[in-house]
Structure 1
Amino acid sequence: MDGLLRKKDLVESVGVAKSTIADWVTEYHVFIPSLKHGAVTYYKPEALDVLNAIRELREQNYSKVQIMELLAKRGFPVTVEEAVEDVERVLSGADSRDTLLTVMQTMGQAVVEIGKQTERQNRIETRIEEHSERMDGQDGRIAETADQVAILRHVVEEMQQQLIAAQVEVAAAKQEAAEAKEQASKRRGLFGWFR
Structure 2
Amino acid sequence: MDLLRKKDLHSPVGVPKSTVADWVEDFSVYIPKVKQGSVIYYKSETIDVLKFIKLCREQHYQKPQIMQMLADKGFPITVEEAVEDVRRAMEGDTPRDTLLTVMQTMGQAMTELTGQNERLDGHDKVLKTLSEQQNGQNERMESIEKRADEIEILKQDMEALRQELAATKEELNERNSGSFFGRIFGRK
Q: Which runs of 5+ in 1 are unaligned?
A: 177-195
2: CA distance between counterparts of 1:163 and 1:42?
79
2: CA distance between counterparts of 1:38 and 1:129?
40
Query: How far is the alpha carbon of 1:163 from its aligned partner?
Result: 5.3
Query: How far is the alpha carbon of 1:52 from its aligned partner?
Result: 0.8
Please give the secondary structure, in 1, of the residue aligned with 2:30.
coil
Q: In the TM superposition, what are the counterparts of 1:49-128 in structure 2 within 5 Å?
A: 49-128=48-127
User: Structure 1 counterpart of 2:44, which letter?
Assistant: P
Please give the secondary structure, in 2, of the residue aligned with 1:43.
strand
2: CA distance between counterparts of 1:101 and 1:133?
48
Query: How far is the alpha carbon of 1:10 from its aligned partner?
Result: 1.4
Query: How far is the alpha carbon of 1:130 from its aligned partner?
Result: 1.4
Deviations 1:36-81 (A, max 9, x none): 1223211111111111110100000000111111111111111110
2: CA distance between counterparts of 1:25 and 1:126?
37
Q: Which runs of 5+ in 2 are unaligned?
A: 175-188
Query: How far is the alpha carbon of 1:156 from its aligned partner?
Result: 2.2
Please give the secondary structure, in 2, of the residue aligned with 1:30.
helix
2: CA distance between counterparts of 1:166 and 1:107?
87
Query: How far is the alpha carbon of 1:140 from its aligned partner?
Result: 1.8
Query: How far is the alpha carbon of 1:162 from its aligned partner?
Result: 4.5
Aligned residues: 175
The residue that corresponds to 2:12 in the other structure is 13
The list of structure 1 runs, each at least 4 consecutive aligned residues, that deviate by more than 6 angstroms after superposition, is none
> For the pair shown, which has the larger CA radius of gyration, 1 or 2?
1
1: CA distance between counterparts of 2:44 and 2:162?
68
1: CA distance between counterparts of 2:67 and 2:160?
79
Query: How far is the alpha carbon of 1:141 from its aligned partner?
Result: 1.1
Q: In the TM superposition, what are the counterparts of 1:120-159 in structure 2 within 5 Å?
A: 120-159=119-158
1: CA distance between counterparts of 2:52 and 2:46?
10
The residue that corresponds to 2:184 in the other structure is none
Q: Percent identity?
A: 47
Q: In the TM superposition, what are the counterparts of 1:19-58 in structure 2 within 5 Å?
A: 19-58=18-57
1: CA distance between counterparts of 2:112 and 2:65?
16
**Pair 165,7 (structure 1): closer, same or farther in 2 beyond 3 Å:** farther
